[in-house]
A and B are shown apart, each in its own frame.
Chain A
Amino acid sequence: MTTPPGLTAAVFDDALREIRAAVGDEWVFTTPADTALYRDAYSLFWDEPEERLASAAVAPATVEQVQAVTRACNARGVPLYPISTGRNLGYGGSAPAYSGSVVLDLKRMDRVIEVDERNGSCIVEPGVSYFDMYRHLQSRGSRLWIDVPDPGWGSMIGNALDFGGGYTANPYRNHFEAHCGMEVVLADGEILRTGMGALPGAQTWQQYRYGFGPYLDGLFKQSTLGITTKMGFWLFPQPEAYFTASINLPRYDDLPMLVDTIGELENANIFNGMPGISSPVLFRGGKNPLDFPEIPEGAEMDRLARETGLPCWSARLTFYGPEQVIRAQWAYAKSRFPTASFTEHALVKLPLSPADMERIHKPSFGIPSLEMFAMGARSAHNPNPTDGHFWFSPIIPRTGEGFIAANRIIRQTCQRLDIPVLLFSPPVSSWWRAFILVMAIPVHKDPARNQHLRAAVKELIRVCADHGWGEYRTAPAFHDAVMDTYSYNNHIVRRVNERIKDALDPNGILSVGRYGVWPKRLREQGGRK
């Protein structure tokens, strides 16, 4: 067993004794074989001295146990790293951001506390996975959908707290935005309820998010300030139908107008699903749609389009709603593009038929799956599987010009720095009004390759920042590097985060180092890397 840095073995033993008394011996893990299960399987530091390892792990079953563990750690300065289902692969897995932390594994807190059909909402504990919630809703014949990320084994709470996203209609696919009300255990063991949860007896916890005074929930997004033990979410009433159709435009120069107009249509609620941009001419011959090539110069792209007869661009709109309404919305959308041609994809009536179930992309219908793990896995087309990957995901301007610039510069930088890419997305609109690019970079359990990758990706982060593109989320290897780029006014964002951290968690025990926020004692020791 390792001891957290700065603590004596005796103090740590004493903390563990108190923790065992609270949660039971069986749920305190200290042997090397057990703590190894908390390694980040896709770590960029695998087997290197900097790998972030847990000193121990604790799995409470109730909020009271979470409080007891937190108090035991707070009294002795033991770093504590909460996870919900700990499947944050590509962004850190189940490992702590700071080596030597005790991982607080909340998987056993897996109760669906409430589903309110009339209000279209639920309250869940952190251990409730998308698979769990889907089964729960199915088993009670609910008419409500969840919105799921690609991997269905994650936690509704863990994913939302790390600002994850999914695929269905607009208010739901931003998982943090779709929440309403939180319960959080603070570093001193006190319980905070946000929004209307602060008013004893209120029946509106899952109806009005904002309560009274400053909106505190944002403090717990990508945060080091608390342990979330309950969260309310708004759920999507199953629509009557699903429809997607594409708008095809012939010329390179059409992209800015295309992006602007679909933005306007989306902002006016003419469609509610996630829009997608593609390029039929660049993807001709069945190329992988998740591997957007470098966009050539305009004249070259126009020449290719003329030669092949394929459009330069297409935008795919997705609609969820009553068929009648969708048809009218699509007719209006078409009227906005006089020079376009259109491709209508199937209209799917809901609930899904078994045949449709075999064809569809499940997350677009709120159905959890793990099919996305085909990416990089061994298959008939890929004899050399990776050991995992991490995500690189900058926010770029939501304009045609912005997308083209980001695509070219990031592609060229990856090539220059020898950064391999498994997936290079088109602009993604998980978040309303924003575009992100998502790249998956393969990882191998090979320190030499990983050292190269870490240095190269830090350089890529700087190149992106020089263009005004910043990552929305990143693997722990890059938390500090990305936080460094959010530097307006001498890093005031980080400095304010640090002031809040010091006030709410003066002993600096929770989620140390996560998202580049370090407690006072480690800042003073130069612990920030």
Chain B
Amino acid sequence: MRVLTLIAALAMATPATAATERPAPRPDPAKGAAVFAKWCAPCHAPGMRHPGTAALAAKYNGQLPPELERRSDLTPDMVALYVRAGISLMAPFRKTEISDPQLADLGAYLSPRPHAKGARK
């Protein structure tokens, strides 16, 4: 899938975005869910009134689910890339909005974890 290769390439080309300066606590998907609800859901919740969901529906045209919470291909690095670099109309989020530890939590929430299969909608 061309789109995915591109995303993977971008992810590798970015300098390390996650918190590396200090020992980070283990990312917590439950906290990540709260970060998602506060910062991401206004654009990425289910339903085409949400511009992020509508944009991803048009972009992936059925090849991937348009709702981020239903994706199984996201990794913490991809999540960090989009949050910190933005894309298209989506402006990046600063560390005073989503801190590095919160970003790690969000990455844990959005990337598939075997033990949590089915936990997310």
Give A contacts to B, CB under 8 Å.
27, 29, 33-34, 37-38, 41-42, 57, 59, 85-87, 89, 93-94, 105, 107-108, 127, 131, 152-153, 368-371, 373-374, 376-380, 382-383, 385-388
Contacts and interface: CB of A to CB of B under 8 A. Distances in A.
Contacts, number: 84
B65 interface: no
Interface in B54-97: 54-55, 57-59, 84, 86, 88-97
Chain A contact residues, majority secondary structure: loop
Interface stretch (B2-10, B26-34, B43-51, B112-120): B43-51
Given A153-B42, A374-B49, A377-B88, 16 more contacts: A37-B95, A59-B96, A85-B97, A87-B91, A105-B96, A107-B97, A131-B42, A368-B42, A371-B51, A374-B51, A377-B55, A378-B58, A380-B57, A382-B58, A386-B89, A387-B88
B20 to A, nearest CB: 11
B89 A385 contact: yes
A200 B82 CA distance: 48
B38 interface: yes
Contacts of A371: 49-51
Interface residues of B, number: 26
Contacts of B88: 377-378, 385-387
A37 B49 contact: no
A38 B15 CA distance: 17
A107 B94 contact: yes
6 nearest A-B pairs in the assembled complex, by CB-CB distance: A41-B91, A107-B96, A378-B55, A370-B42, A374-B51, A373-B51
Nearest to B57: A380
B86 to A, nearest CB: 5
Contacts of A153: 42
A373 B43 contact: yes
Contacts of B59: 378
Contacts of B91: 41-42, 87, 89, 93, 388
Contact of A105 (B43, B50, B90, B94): B94
